[in-house]
Amino acid sequence: MSTIIADLDTINQINELEQYCLNHQPRAILSDMDGTLLSSEPLHVEATQIWLERRNISPQNGELDELVLGRDDQSIFQELCLRYPQIRGQEFVDEKHSIFAQLVKQKPEMVMIPPVMMDFLQKQKTQGTKIALITASVEADMDLILDANNLGSFFDLKISANQVSQIKPHPEAYLTAMEKFNLNYTQCLILEDSPTGLRAATQTRAPIFKISWFNS
């Protein structure tokens, strides 16, 4: 199992991440997207809530936070069907993406990568470190966020829910990135935030930095 090197509660602690990279020289950084690089997870929660409200369903306070964060849309919908059997057979993923896209237009600041984080990634890339984006979001949501940040071609590798057969907490996405970079776990560093993502990351045996600054 992997070791969580540190839990970064504030973005000012990014210097710990920089120091680790200086000392250990990882050849690749594999980063989650929502909740790790940017504070977009509340928009996924809100999009899911709007979808439910259109069907006259009002989830309990905090229920969707636990259900949505760090999970892919198919898993979210499967859980929703267990809790609200009346929605079985209805379309979720495309409609939820459409709602999410509208929210991104209304609240663009929620999908902006903080400049200090972008500076860190750019510096690592300049030094030859490969940068991979690993997300449980569907490709359409990933592309929407990358376009908002003008980062369509920044990442050396992008893996969304559409590119893997097994979603986090299974480690397939991270293991696929390592394979494509022809690297082993000792040569990589993973950035994650959610319990689901951390479960996937720990199974790779790669070192991990837990990113919690969007939760504080």
pTM for the complete prediction?
Answer: 0.93
First to last CA, the chain: 27
Sheet holding 28-31, edge to edge: 4-8, 208-211, 188-192, 28-31, 130-134, 157-159
**Segment 6-24 mean pLDDT:** 96
Mean per-residue pLDDT, 156-165: 96
Q: Distances from the Cα of 75 to the Cαs of 81, 167, 182, in angstroms?
A: 10, 9, 30
Q: What is the pLDDT of residue 129?
A: 98
Mean pLDDT of the 93-100 span = 96
Q: Quick check: 38 pLDDT over 80?
A: yes
pLDDT of 180 strictly over 70? yes
The answer to whether 121 and 32 have CB atoms below 8 angstroms apart is: no
What is the rounded average pLDDT of the residues 158-187? Answer: 97
pLDDT (tens digit, 9 = 90+) per residue, 117-150? 999 999 999 999 999 999 999 999 999 999 999 9
Tens-place pLDDT, residues 205-214 = 999 999 999 9
Q: How far apart are CA 180 and CA 34, in angstroms?
A: 22
Pick 4-39+112-215's CATH classification: 3.40.50.1100, 3.40.50.300, 3.40.50.1000, 3.50.50.60: 3.40.50.1000
